[in-house]
């Protein structure tokens, strides 16, 4: 290659390198899109970027509307009128436009960081002195964000509480994908825990004579055993049944949570007779047992606000006043997490069986040594298994272990168990084929459980659970040896 050719080759190479680098940079930028702009950045901008719902101009106007709601110098009534205007805008806004409103609430109404820092330093300096109390008050006030006052004003107009509850219900599914929304969710949950305290709730009985609009809501919100027809609903409101709900003055026609109760003469082992529309009402003069067979929360937006413990207490007191003969209060509950738990742990279960039991199970499933898939396959035919079936015995022992031993961060892994055991109940009895419906089979191979509320031992059971031991009956204890 002559000198001229070499020079041309070197020059072309130098020209190609920057071009390739530029191309690579462009491809990298395409692969890594810019992070979403904060509302602070968007409010200072002129143009809207792709993916942003509201333009900077509209965003500034919306912020001004929110600031009018939260303005400390205006009255609650005037702030409430401003809030109503935003509620009206929200009703016709698109989902992404609503998200922009939430982001404004999160990012533009935060506590004053400098004020918090100063208040914390004063509190730390005053600890142990006569000024500690005053310093604590200062710190508490500094921690209150303008967002609190903003949300309080939204609760002022008629329908404002309904707006806030529904807004949080929309917000909840998006939290995992957008952590910027977490402060708004936390603020709403905190306010709801105060506004919906049991002291402000009313326990009301729901009967066949209740307004039709209210009865229809039982059908809509029933979460445990679907109400199939009006005849089904009428059976659940018959003379030997009771249905109670908690109501809040700001949501007068919306039960926040309701419980369905059957009054019987013994602890129920199956949901089928309780849901039998053709069954004659039980003799109330012989009723000694109240069975809580369905408890349903109705408001997604109130997630994290606990009503169940107070509801059960109030219902027990109400029932005892009406039926002094009642002595036993228990549930007939689903085990919604059992099937999925067993699917993950079937192999471990088989490994823990001794040789004799493993061989018996192998003969029962037609494969030795049995594998997890064989156990789960045989469990799918649970209703066909007789009382002596090794598969049935393994399932019962696994269910007892799942309810009586499995804890996660000190709490039962099953959500229904977590609810009742947290309220002071104990795991009393497993019921084979307690729920033979498709839903029951899919959740727990048809198994149901009774949780017993022993009124004299509720506090003891709570303490026991707090110490990491699930309260169980001797029958359950015998099924799940350590």
- Give catalytic residues, as residue numbers: 333, 420
Distance (Å, rounded) from C-alpha 344 to C-alpha 333?
A: 22
In which element (H, E) is residue 60 found? helix 56-70
What is the CB-side half-sphere exposure of residue 97 using CA atoms within 13 A? 13
Cα–Cα distances in Å, from 411 out to 8, 263, 415, 419? Answer: 75, 30, 9, 10
DSSP letters for 430-477: EETTS--SHHHHHHHTT-EEEEE--TTTHHHHHHHHHTT---B-HHHH
What is the CB-side half-sphere exposure of residue 427 using CA atoms within 13 A? 32
Q: Where are the alpha helices (DSSP H) in 127-181?
A: 132-143, 146-154, 160-171
Distance (Å, rounded) from C-alpha 433 to C-alpha 270?
A: 7
Distance (Å, rounded) from C-alpha 387 to C-alpha 336?
A: 23
Q: Which residues contact 357 (CB under 8 A, 6 or more apart)?
A: 390, 394
Q: Extract the tokens encoding 104.
A: 């404004």
Cα–Cα distances in Å, from 378 out to 334, 345, 373, 438? Answer: 21, 15, 9, 16
Q: Extract the tokens encoding 395.
A: 């399932």
């Amino acid at each position: 290659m002559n000198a001229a050719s070499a020079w041309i080759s070197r020059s072309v190479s130098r020209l190609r390198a920057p071009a390739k680098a530029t191309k690579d940079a462009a491809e990298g930028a395409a692969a890594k899109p810019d992070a979403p702009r904060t509302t602070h950045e968007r409010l200072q901008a002129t143009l809207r970027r792709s993916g942003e719902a509201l333009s900077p101009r509209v965003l500034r106007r919306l912020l001004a509307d929110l600031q009018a709601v939260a303005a400390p110098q205006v009255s609650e009534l005037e702030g409430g009128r401003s809030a109503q205007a935003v509620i009206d805008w929200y009703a016709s806004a698109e989902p992404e436009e609503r998200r922009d409103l939430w982001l404004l609430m999160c990012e533009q109404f935060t506590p004053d960081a400098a004020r918090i820092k100063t208040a914390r330093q004063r509190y730390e300096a005053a600890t142990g002195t006569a000024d500690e109390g005053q310093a604590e008050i200062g710190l508490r006030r500094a921690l209150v964000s303008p967002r609190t006052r903003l949300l309080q004003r939204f609760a002022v107009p008629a329908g404002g509480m309904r707006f806030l509850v529904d807004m949080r219900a929309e917000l909840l599914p998006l939290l995992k994908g957008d952590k910027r929304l977490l402060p708004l969710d936390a603020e709403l949950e905190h306010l709801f825990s105060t506004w919906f305290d049991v002291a402000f709730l009313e326990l009301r009985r729901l009967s066949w004579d209740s307004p039709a609009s209210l009865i229809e809501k039982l059908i809509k919100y029933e979460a445990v055993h679907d109400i199939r027809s009006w005849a089904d609903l009428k059976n659940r409101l018959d003379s030997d049944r009771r249905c109670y709900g908690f109501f809040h003055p700001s949501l007068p026609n919306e039960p926040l949570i309701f419980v369905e109760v059957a009054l019987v003469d013994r602890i129920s082992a199956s949901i089928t007779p309780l849901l039998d529309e053709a069954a004659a009402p039980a003799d109330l003069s012989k009723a000694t047992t109240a069975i809580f067979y369905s408890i349903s929360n109705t408001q997604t937006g109130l997630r994290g606000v606990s009503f169940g413990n107070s509801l059960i207490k109030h219902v027990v007191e109400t029932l005892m006043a009406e039926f002094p003969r009642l002595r036993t209060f228990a549930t007939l509950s689903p085990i919604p997490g059992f099937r999925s738990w067993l699917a993950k742990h079937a192999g471990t279960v088989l490994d823990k069986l001794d040789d004799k039991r493993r061989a018996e199970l192998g003969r029962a499933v037609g494969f030795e040594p049995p594998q997890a898939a064989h156990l789960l396959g045989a469990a799918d035919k649970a209703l066909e298994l007789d009382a002596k079936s090794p598969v049935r015995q393994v399932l019962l022992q696994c269910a007892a272990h799942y309810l009586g031993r499995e804890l996660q961060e000190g709490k039962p892994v099953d959500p229904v168990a977590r609810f009742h055991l947290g309220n002071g109940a104990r795991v009393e009895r497993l019921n084979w084929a307690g729920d033979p419906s498709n839903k029951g089979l899919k959740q727990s191979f048809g198994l149901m459980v009774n949780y017993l509320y022993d009124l004299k031992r509720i506090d003891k059971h709570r303490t026991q659970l707090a110490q990491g031991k699930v309260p169980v009956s001797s029958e359950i204890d015998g099924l799940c040896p350590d």
